[in-house]
Amino acid sequence: MKYLVLIGDVLGSKQLPARALFQRRLKSVIQGMNGRRKTLVSPYTLTLGDEFQAVYRDASGIFSDIFSLLAQVSPVRMRFAVAVGEIVTPINPKQSIGMDGPAFHLARARLEKLKAQGRLLGIQDSADLRWKLPSATLAVLSGLMEGWRQKRLQLFSGMLTGAAVPELAKQTGITTRAVNKNIRAADLDEWKRIVDEISRWLNEEIKTR
């Protein structure tokens, strides 16, 4: 069976002025993600240093979770690699450790490539031409994300869950007018459609044998 693996890390964590305090905050944020998403089969777990990983049954909600994490640690930045593949060891439902398989190898390879490219978000490399367009699209989004502040990250996360404008205003603590202004300024409605389509492609890949 195929799964969706996410591996993330914190950019410049060793240079943070209050690293120990941030690490405690990061642990709290990571733990807070668990239990919110039914599609998580192995929870968000801190692994090496400021790296963390999780395993999803499908792509439903994974991008919303990514932008939620980015918003919660802003202005500190994170990098995320996502990949679909088999996991050849038993799934660990308590911690995302002790597992192995192509899904982890693909996610790790993408993370290393993102580090070399200086990008924040990417999906697996593949010889299959179907993945060229979504990969390039996320590269563009990654560049745009560099300029997004906390409210916009939080807003986009909410949009990806399907929240309407009044609910988004409530979630972010800004007016509905400000919500609409953010959506227009960053084309967030278009990016939502694109990210939703990438999620659909990922789910189709998970279903293939």
- Give residue-wise pLDDT tens across range 6-22: 999 998 877 788 888 88
Q: Give pLDDT, residue 181.
A: 96
The pLDDT tens digits for 22-55 are 888 888 998 888 877 788 999 999 988 789 999 9
Q: Prior bond to 75 cis, omega within 30?
A: yes
Q: Which structure tokens are listed for 48?
A: 């090496």
pLDDT at residue 128 above 70?
no
The pLDDT tens digits for 83-125 are 999 999 999 999 999 999 999 999 999 999 999 999 999 998 6
Q: How sure is the predictor about 126, in pLDDT bands with cuts at 50, 70 and 90?
A: low
* Total number of domains in the chain: 1
Q: Other C-beta atoms within 10 Å of 59: how many?
A: 23
By residue range, what is the domain housing residue 50?
2-207
Which of 82, 80, 103, 95 is CA-nearest to residue 3?
Answer: 103
**Mean pLDDT across the stretch 118-139?**
83
The CATH number of residue 41's host domain is: 3.30.70.270
Burial class of 62 by CB neighbour count within 10 A (0 to 12, 13 to 18, 19+):
buried
pLDDT at residue 193 above 80?
yes
Q: Give pLDDT, residue 93.
A: 94
Check if the beta carbon of residue 155 is closer than 8 Å to that of residue 172: yes
Q: How sure is the predictor about 3, in pLDDT bands with cuts at 50, 70 and 90?
A: very high
The pLDDT tens digits for 159-175 are 999 999 999 999 999 99
Residues of the chain above pLDDT 90, percent = 73
pLDDT at residue 133 above 70?
yes
